[in-house]
């Protein structure tokens, strides 16, 4: 029996066992392993975590800086705790390879829930998960699922491809908007409508909040059904054969600071959950999520292998050299790298 | 002989021939193909472009919003044109899958150089190059190199991993800073020092510009040699065996708007170019760049293949199904996907 106190990848399965028994320290340890810059450790942690079930409900929270994401997270945790549900939070910051998620994490950990054992809060950054943050985040969700957290809140910042891959790990995506950022209509035009299942208009106490609320409601009503996020996710073939109704994003007026609007928001989440639980969608979504998880994990593995093989001394060094001497061109090198990857 | 007017991937080689002959329309067409959401088109364009040489000098321009990147680009184009050099600009916006680089491009195209045939300006976004923007951008650089542009300016926004992969396609990275954003010291702490070969303190006319200039100079002087970007890029093994001097980032005070400081900036670029041209660094860098290009292109291909194979009806559908039925777990599915990728 390995000593689980050793911070090594060799005993990830033991940590997984402890995690399933509800050991919070094991949860924290496994997420740390997933983020490890040491390939062997992160790979082993990811393999162990993949035996765990994803959480029953993952709610993605995103929005522009200044929208009050932290305050809303805080409020949401309180609301779910009042319902007696345990809550995990994964806050992911893909925007900087330098800071990782440290700033985000510090900010959140200062909240009021740090002494509540029904709450687990963790931030993740890009430190050890370069190119594979979505893979690491999806494994972390399984760790929280395995530990029995009933609701997991997945916060991300940014609007890039990495952020979009991460937020799409959630069942329900909640986009926060606030009055006064000045680019509300612009954001609508830019496709935000397609990215949310639920809109929160935060800072409801502000005089122009109601106006923004109405604007978003109008935009949602005017939008054609194909903006439905889950249909986009499930692809054109599914969407064109699906005869059920399209989800229309809910718009909810909230003041996270003054703790108003919460019940409406939980209600919106429940409605969306019920929509996803319709058998036809539910089955397709389950396969779609698995396919995406397999994609993330497989890509990360292939990318890591290429890192090693293309580094000086790696088995593709001669391909690089041949190309550097100008004897063959880049197209040949790519074909050669693929040929050797697929016959290894 | 294919008709090159057809917007198809079948005649990329013909467009490449025209591109080498200096046909600007062929340059534009090839970049459009590289960005195409149609896999066959982008793949064929990428294959054709890989026969073209990368540009002699690629200067990366990055910095926070509001730092005056567009104005500096405009100024730099004028400076290089006064020297009689042709200039290509690739502006890449990895931050949004929705807008692509459209906003950026519109902004730049409104500049004063649009009638100058010695200047080619193009923006690229994430539209058709999901997950492969660095691959598409590196191919686009070769297209400009093949068309004979003597200097290529590569502008990016954002600080994420995708932005960082793109900016690192440049020979020289120029980071713009401006007084008054309030987080200057913070940025320094967050590792910006390691990402620049040349710092531009823009808006030199502002009263606090000189102070920021001195702050960055002090930070650069206090920083140990290992912040040298090219050494980080070439890896620890090279850096520890390399006995030559480390590059110390140049700091230049510029007002892009009032067109002052330009000659100092060009001088800083020349000094860095000369540093990279030292034989030992030059040879290592050539291999390193090729390895990264092979990595980007190969990853993109493997990722695209996985997209197809994991989609409904793809040859990994049975793996997803087995997993969805709960007969095997995710770890098995990932191993199976890798096994089949490597024995296809």
Contact flag A161-B286 (C-beta cutoff 8 Å)? no
- Calpha distance B26→B47 (Å, rounded): 15
pLDDT category at A35 given cuts 50, 70, 90 is: confident
**Residue of B66, B320, B322 best to disrupt the A interface, most CBs of A under 10 A:** B320
Burial class (CB in 10 A: 0-12, 13-18, 19+), A224: exposed
Q: What is the model's pLDDT at position B59?
A: 98
Of B126, B238, B306, the CB nearest to A299: B306
Closest-CA residue of A relative to B194 is A98
Asked whether the beta carbons of A255 and A293 are under 8 A apart, the reply is: no
Residue A159, CA distances (Å) to A162, B95, B125, B302, B321 in order: 8, 6, 13, 24, 32
Average pLDDT on A68-86 reads 93
End-to-end CA distance of chain A: 34
pLDDT category at B216 given cuts 50, 70, 90 is: confident
Q: What is the model's pLDDT at position B219?
A: 84
Of B161, B302, B343, the CB nearest to A94: B161
Minimal CA separation from B234 to chain A, in Å? 9
Q: Which residues of A touch B66 (CB under 8 A)?
A: none
Exposed e or buried b for every residue in B153-183, given b needs 16+ CB within 10 A?
bbbbbbbbbbbbbbbbbbbbbbbbbbbeeee
Average pLDDT on B186-210 reads 80
pLDDT category at A102 given cuts 50, 70, 90 is: very low
pLDDT per residue over A240-257, tens digit each? Answer: 999 999 999 999 999 999
pLDDT per residue over B96-108, tens digit each? Answer: 544 434 445 445 5
Asked whether the beta carbons of B175 and B72 are under 8 A apart, the reply is: no
Q: Which residues of B touch A298 (CB under 8 A)?
A: 306, 334, 337-338, 341
Contact flag B294-A158 (C-beta cutoff 8 Å)? no
pLDDT per residue over A39-48, tens digit each? Answer: 888 889 999 9
Residue A3, CA distances (Å) to A40, A51, A291, B282 in order: 18, 21, 35, 49
The rounded radius of gyration (Å) of the Cα atoms in chain B is 22
Contact flag B338-A298 (C-beta cutoff 8 Å)? yes
CA angle, B304 then B309 then B310, to 5°: 100
pLDDT category at B185 given cuts 50, 70, 90 is: low
Tokens of A203: 């800072």
Minimal CA separation from B150 to chain A, in Å? 20
Classify B83 as helix, strand or coil: coil
pLDDT > 50? residue B234: yes
pLDDT per residue over A108-118, tens digit each? Answer: 555 677 778 89
Q: What is the model's pLDDT at position B99?
A: 40
Of B161, B299, B307, the CB nearest to A130: B161
């Amino acid at each position: 029996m390995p000593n689980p106190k050793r911070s090594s990848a060799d005993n990830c399965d033991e940590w997984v066992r402890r995690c399933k028994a509800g050991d919070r320290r094991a949860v924290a340890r496994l997420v740390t392993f997933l983020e490890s810059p040491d390939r062997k450790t992160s790979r082993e942690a990811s393999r162990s975590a993949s035996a765990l079930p994803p959480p029953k409900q993952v709610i993605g929270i995103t929005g522009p800086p200044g929208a009050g994401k932290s305050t809303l997270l805080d409020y949401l945790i309180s609301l779910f705790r009042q319902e007696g549900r345990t809550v995990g939070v994964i806050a992911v910051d893909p925007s900087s390879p330098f800071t990782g998620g440290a700033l985000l994490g510090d900010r959140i950990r200062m909240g009021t829930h740090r002494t509540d054992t029904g709450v687990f809060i963790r931030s993740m950054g890009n430190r050890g998960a370069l190119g594979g943050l979505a893979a690491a985040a999806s494994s972390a969700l399984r760790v929280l699922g395995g530990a029995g957290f009933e609701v997991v809140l997945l916060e991300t910042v940014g609007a890039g491809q990495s952020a979009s891959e991460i937020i799409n790990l959630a069942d329900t995506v909640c986009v926060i908007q606030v009055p006064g950022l000045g680019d509300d209509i612009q954001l609508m035009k830019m496709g935000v409508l397609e990215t949310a299942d639920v809109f929160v208009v935060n800072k409801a106490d502000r005089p122009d909040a109601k106006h923004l609320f109405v604007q978003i409601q109008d935009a949602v009503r005017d939008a054609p059904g194909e903006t439905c996020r889950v249909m986009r996710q499930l692809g054109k073939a599914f969407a064109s054969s699906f005869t059920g109704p399209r989800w229309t994003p809910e718009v909810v007026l909230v003041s996270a600071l003054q703790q108003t609007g919460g019940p409406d928001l939980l209600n919106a989440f429940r409605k969306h959950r019920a929509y996803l639980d319709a058998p036809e969608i539910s089955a397709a979504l389950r396969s779609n999520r698995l396919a995406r998880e397999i994609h993330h994990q497989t890509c990360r593995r292939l990318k890591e292998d290429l890192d090693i093989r293309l580094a000086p001394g790696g088995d593709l060094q001669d391909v690089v050299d041949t190309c550097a001497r100008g004897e063959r061109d880049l197209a040949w090198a790519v074909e050669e790298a693929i040929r050797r990857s697929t016959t290894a």
